[in-house]
């Protein structure tokens, strides 16, 4: 397997404050990887640095191309979809317009309609509400919409920032099941940042653990789940 995303010695800054202290990791094509860590460890910052939404140094390569100096929109246009923390839903637009926006940078306009239909198959609840303002959806529905919007890009890589945040456990299970399906069926490489370590480790095949801006552990998700320290710190048993 070849590495699709290669991150080397990533350092990120908010003003004078350094949030990442030389982070290195890579994602294999087709993998589903999770990045675990406590509050403030730098998980969100890592995702934001990949999309150049925060000042950073280091080398980020996507499919062999350095992307560190590209603007956010140009990183996205390479096929990297980012579902941000808080979902970033266009709340005053309809569900369908949100999906249209996900595909706004694509040039194959004729295929967009069919893709929207495909999203309705993945997420039937969105179909019932397609003319509704996205802001009127429940939290879980909005998260589904955010994932669907990201998929409308036909991404090669999808970055998800705490998709389980604020959702009921049953909805989280449903969402993670769909993510696994997308990873297998649509061949989308996924990097998911999570605080819900247990679920994330069940879903993922690779895992990284990050503490105060550094990777402290990496490997197969099952091995990580069985690791004594991880169990104590993140799984609570």
In the complex, which residues of this chain contact other proteins (CB under 8 A)? 51, 53, 71-73, 76-77, 81-82, 84, 88-90, 92-93, 97, 100-102, 104-105, 109, 149, 153
Distance in Å, CB of 216 to other proteins, minimum: 29
- Closer to other proteins by Cβ: residue 87 or 207: 87
The continuous run of DSSP H or E covering 64 comes out as: none
Triad 177, 175, 91: Cα angle to 5°:
155
CB nearer to other proteins: give 119 or 207: 119
Closest separation in Å from C-beta 205 to other proteins: 26
> Toward other proteins, which CB reaches closer, 167 or 224?
167
| Spatial separation of the C-alpha atoms in residues 118 and 115, rounded to whole Å | 5
Minimum CB distance to other proteins, residue 234 (Å): 28
Q: Pick the closest to residue 179 from 4, 33, 36 (CA basis).
A: 33
Burial letters 164-191, b for 16+ CB under 10 A, else e = beebeeebbebbbeebbebbeeeebbbb
Least distance in angstroms from the C-beta of 47 to other proteins: 11
Cβ neighbour number for residue 109 with a 10 Å cutoff? 8
Contact 126, 102 (CB under 8 A): no
How far, rounded to the nearest angstrom, does the alpha carbon of residue 229 sit from its chain's CA centroid?
25
Write down the least CB distance from residue 135 to other proteins, Å.
11
Q: Where are the alpha helices (DSSP H) in 80-166?
A: 95-102, 112-122, 124-128, 139-151
* Closest distance of CB 81 from other proteins, Å: 8
DSSP state for residue 169 in the 8-state scheme: H
From residue 131, alpha-carbon distances to 78, 136, 138 in Å are 30, 11, 15
Find the shortest distance in angstroms from Cβ 158 to other proteins. 12
Q: Tell the burial category of 28 from Cβ atoms under 10 Å away from its Cβ (0-12, 13-18, 19+).
A: middle
């Amino acid at each position: 397997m070849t590495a699709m995303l290669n991150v080397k010695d990533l350092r990120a800054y908010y003003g004078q404050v350094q949030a990442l202290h030389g982070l290195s990791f890579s994602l294999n094509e087709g993998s589903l990887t999770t990045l675990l860590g406590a509050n403030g460890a730098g998980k969100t910052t890592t995702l934001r640095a990949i999309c150049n939404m925060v000042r950073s140094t280091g080398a980020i390569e996507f499919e062999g191309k350095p992307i560190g100096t590209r603007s956010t929109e140009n990183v996205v246009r390479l096929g990297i979809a980012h579902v941000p923390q808080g979902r970033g839903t266009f709340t005053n637009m309809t569900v369908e317009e949100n999906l249209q926006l996900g595909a706004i940078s694509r040039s194959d306009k004729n295929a967009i309609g069919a893709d929207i239909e495909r999203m309705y198959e993945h997420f039937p609840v969105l179909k019932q509400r397609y003319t509704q303002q996205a802001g009127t959806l429940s939290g879980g529905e909005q998260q589904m919409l955010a994932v669907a919007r990201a998929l409308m890009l036909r991404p090669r890589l999808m970055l998800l920032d705490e998709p389980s945040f604020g959702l009921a456990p049953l909805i989280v299970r449903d969402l993670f099941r769909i993510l696994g399906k997308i990873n297998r069926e649509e061949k989308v490489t996924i990097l998911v940042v999570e605080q819900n370590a247990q679920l994330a480790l069940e879903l993922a095949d690779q895992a990284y653990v990050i503490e105060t801006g550094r990777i402290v552990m990496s490997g197969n998700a099952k091995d990580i789940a069985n690791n004594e320290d991880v169990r104590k710190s993140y799984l609570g048993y």
